[in-house]
């Protein structure tokens, strides 16, 4: 039963261009997976937009349509890919080098992936110290570089006859920067572009170009990129949805599954030690302390927000939270994340939990890229602009309105996401009060 107050949603007609700054392991695994699903070779496992359902009304109503049948989403068949990278490799060559997918998946997709070639990147090795490739734009100023990116976008739109576009940053993690004066307003940022201000990083230039054109921008890495006042101002001005930061995939995903459970049972915690070994290019980039700093800040915030030590000083007032990432080439993309968790229970007796997650980073990230592309396009067609907190579900360090703390509990995030969809369609929100308990 609906309350008849759904939003006006523009139809998802025509083609959707997905713009990918950074075409490495994650982006090429995403592109290959979408094409594999289109060809019927593989299923889009892990994607809420493709495989998820949504309960509507009372449990006794027995209404649980697929999300994609409930809200008008772009179809996989209507997606076109474009992107930039520091290296000129096609998506096929890049995917082969990344070593995520095996030949049995890559070879049938070869022709298609070879057709996805990156445009020259806006890049400067001072912001990602471990990389230095040849496929890089030259420009008189950062403004000039931004104009070149805008030209790429306009050309892509015309050549592919696109109706709409979205952008998902899948580039390397840049060095840590906090928002400063040049990020404080749109006017300051645009002046900074003219003056090639050193605190305007390449990812911010892509974000600026997208948001200026009303193209939803989603940031999969922990660097600021679109998360500062000037970009929020621009997003409001152009009516553009933005979201970030840092895809929530392996270890932090585990953390946001487990920590809410401990807190729900009021089990105390002394410490959480997390370490990773990772051998892909992302691992190499994160071997640089300045890029790791961006990642560390993104990973450390989670526990504090979930456990709320200010409300539970006896349980969580003194936690030693440590996160390490070690570059270890033999593992490639198949990261291993170990967690040691020191908890305590009744009368203070200590216990330990060990988690060893042998995961595949890009396999976990690819469906997130897809869902962000598809949901941010939906947001745009619904007239939702600015920070999309309902997409926090996908991020380690969710972007929030100023003054609000981010919600990290993955189940609260999912409820917020699904209730947003229910709201858009004028369905009753599910609060789990009364008789209805399970979604």
What is the binding site for ligand NAD (CB under 6 A)? 21-27, 84-87, 98, 121-123, 128, 131, 133, 170-173, 202, 220-221, 246-247, 249-250, 280-282, 285, 361-362, 364-365
CB 74 within 8 A of CB 12: yes
Question: What is the closest distance, in whole angstroms, from the C-beta atom of residue 376 to ligand NAD in the complex?
Answer: 16
Q: 84 or 327: whose CB is closer to ligand NAD?
A: 84
Tell me the closest approach of the beta carbon of residue 74 to ligand NAD, in angstroms: 22
The distance of closest approach from Cβ of residue 122 to ligand NAD in the complex, given in angstroms and rounded to an integer, is 6
DSSP 159-173: HTTEEEEEEEE-SPP
Question: CB nearest ligand NAD: which residue?
Answer: 24
In the complex, the smallest distance separating the C-beta of residue 65 from ligand NAD, rounded to whole angstroms, is 30
Give whichever of 131 and 410 is closer to ligand NAD, judged by the CB atom. 131
Residues 6 or more apart whose Cβ sits within 8 Å of residue 230: 182, 183, 184, 185, 186, 188, 189
Q: DSSP E strands: which ranges in 143-279? A: 162-169, 217-219, 241-243, 268-278
CB of 365 or CB of 372, closer to ligand NAD? 365
DSSP string, 91-114: HHHHHHHHT-S-HHHHHHHHHHHH
Minimum CB–partner distance for residue 432 and ligand NAD (Å): 30
Nearer to ligand NAD, 33 or 268 (CB): 33
Burial classification of residue 238, based on how many CB atoms lie within 10 Å of its CB (0-12 exposed, 13-18 middle, 19 or more buried): middle
Cα-to-chain-centroid distance, residue 268: 31
Closest CB to ligand NAD among residues 280, 376: 280
Minimum distance from residue 296 beta carbon to ligand NAD (Å): 12
Q: How far apart are CA 303 and CA 426, in angstroms?
A: 34
Q: Which is nearer to ligand NAD, 228 or 394 (CB)?
A: 394
CA distances from 240 to 37, 45, 208, 422 (A): 29, 28, 11, 21
């Amino acid at each position: 039963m609906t309350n008849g107050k759904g939003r006006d949603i523009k139809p998802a007609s025509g083609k959707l261009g997905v713009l990918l700054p950074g075409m490495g392991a994650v982006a090429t695994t995403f592109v290959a997976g979408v094409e594999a699903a289109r060809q019927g070779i593989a299923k889009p496992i892990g994607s809420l937009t493709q495989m998820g359902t949504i309960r509507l009304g009372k449990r006794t109503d027995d209404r649980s349509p697929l999300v994609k049948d409930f809200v008008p989403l772009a179809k996989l068949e209507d997606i076109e890919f474009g992107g930039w990278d520091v290296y000129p490799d096609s998506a096929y060559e890049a995917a082969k080098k990344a070593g995520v997918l095996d030949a049995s998946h890559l070879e049938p997709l070869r022709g298609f992936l070879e057709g996805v070639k990156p445009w020259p990147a806006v890049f400067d090795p001072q912001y990602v110290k471990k990389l230095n490739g040849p496929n890089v734009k030259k420009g008189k100023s950062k403004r000039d570089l931004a104009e070149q990116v805008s030209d790429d976008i306009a050309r892509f739109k015309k050549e592919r006859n696109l109706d709409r576009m979205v952008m998902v940053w899948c580039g390397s993690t840049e060095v840590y920067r906090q928002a400063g004066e040049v990020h404080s307003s749109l006017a300051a940022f645009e002046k900074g572009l003219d003056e090639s201000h050193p605190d305007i990083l390449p990812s911010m230039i892509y974000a600026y170009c997208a948001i200026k054109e009303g193209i939803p921008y989603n940031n999969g890495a922990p660097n600021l990129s679109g998360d500062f006042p000037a970009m929020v101002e621009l997003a409001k001005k152009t009516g553009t949805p933005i979201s970030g930061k840092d895809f929530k995939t392996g270890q932090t995903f585990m953390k946001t599954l487990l920590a809410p459970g401990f807190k729900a049972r009021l089990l105390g915690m002394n410490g959480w030690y997390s370490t990773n070994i990772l051998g892909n290019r992302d691992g190499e980039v994160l071997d640089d302390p300045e890029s790791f700093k961006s990642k560390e800040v993104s990973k450390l915030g989670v526990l504090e927000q979930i456990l709320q030590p200010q409300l539970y000083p006896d349980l969580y007032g003194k936690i030693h939270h440590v996160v390490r990432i070690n570059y270890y080439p033999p593992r490639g993309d198949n990261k291993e994340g170990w967690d040691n968790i020191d908890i305590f229970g009744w009368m203070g007796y200590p216990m330990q939990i060990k988690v060893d997650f042998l995961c595949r980073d890009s396999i976990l990230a690819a469906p997130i890229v897809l869902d962000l592309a598809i949901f941010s396009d939906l947001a745009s067609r619904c007239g939702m602009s600015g920070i999309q907190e309902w997409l926090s579900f996908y991020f380690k360090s969710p972007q929030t309105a100023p003054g609000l703390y981010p919600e990290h509990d993955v189940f609260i995030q999912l409820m917020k996401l699904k209730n947003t969809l229910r709201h858009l369609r004028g369905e009753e929100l599910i609060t789990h009060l009364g008789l209805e308990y399970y979604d």
